[in-house]
Amino acid sequence: MQSIFITGGGSGIGRAVAILFAARGWRVGLADINDAGMAETARLLGGAPVTVHKLDVRDRAAWDGALAEFAADSGGRLDVLFNNAGIGVGGNFAQTTVAELDRCVDINLMGVVYGAHAGYPYLKASGGCLLNTASAAGIYGTSGVAIYSATKFAVRGLTESLDAEWHADGIRVRALLPSFIDTAILDSVPVGRNGTARDGVRAAGLEFTPVEAAAQAAWDAVHGDRLHTLVGKTARRMWFAARFMRGTFRKKARGLT
């Protein structure tokens, strides 16, 4: 039986991916700091084989323990490591606290780095896939979420580097670049003076992409050859504009058009 280990499995995209992969016959390992969230995700999987692992992705040693626990249950098999855990940090960059900056970098970037580092021997043994959640904010620097955007650029760069480096080892490396997925993270990220990311999306007339679409994109990424999988209309528009209309896109980002 194929198996997937999912960080951030207690909610959002991680939960949706767990549900989809379990429904298609995969063994699922859920990792999160949220015990209640993992328990609810596990309940939603019905009778599918699932294990739960309390994991702070910032702790490199804890990664080794969690993956060893998962491998003991899966017969040593890890076909997909889904580096999905992340947080949003928004607002005026100059007013963001050092603690908030450090936490965002530690979770969104170093959590992914540690996951890749710890997962390598398992993925090499299985000829598996490392799937990282980046973001549309990693396509072009995004005002109001500067540190978040920076971490997602870094995840995208790591994905591209390891795609080349690990090809000879038979490991596929992929990234999801979602735009505005309809999950609770949009309600927890302040953007601007008085609103959240969800308020900003509504004010701009942009779309919310169902979380199930992100789960299907993850499935397609794992089973396809595309390095970056864009999720949502905004992500696709940003990719095009950043590639072919950089000058116009820059002016728009600065509020000059």
Residue-range definition of the domain harbouring residue 214: 3-253
More confident residue, 194 or 131: 131
- Total domains present in the chain: 1
More confident residue, 179 or 205: 179
More confident residue, 244 or 236: 236
Which ranges constitute the DSSP H helices of the chain? 12-23, 35-44, 60-74, 98-104, 111-126, 146-165, 185-188, 197-203, 211-223, 233-244, 246-253
CATH number at residue 134: 3.40.50.720
pLDDT beyond 90 at 32 = yes
pLDDT beyond 70 at 70 = yes
Give the predicted TM-score (pTM) of the model.
Answer: 0.89
pLDDT beyond 60 at 186 = no
Across 184-209, average pLDDT: 59
The pLDDT value recorded for residue 199 is: 54
Name the residues annotated as catalytic: 148
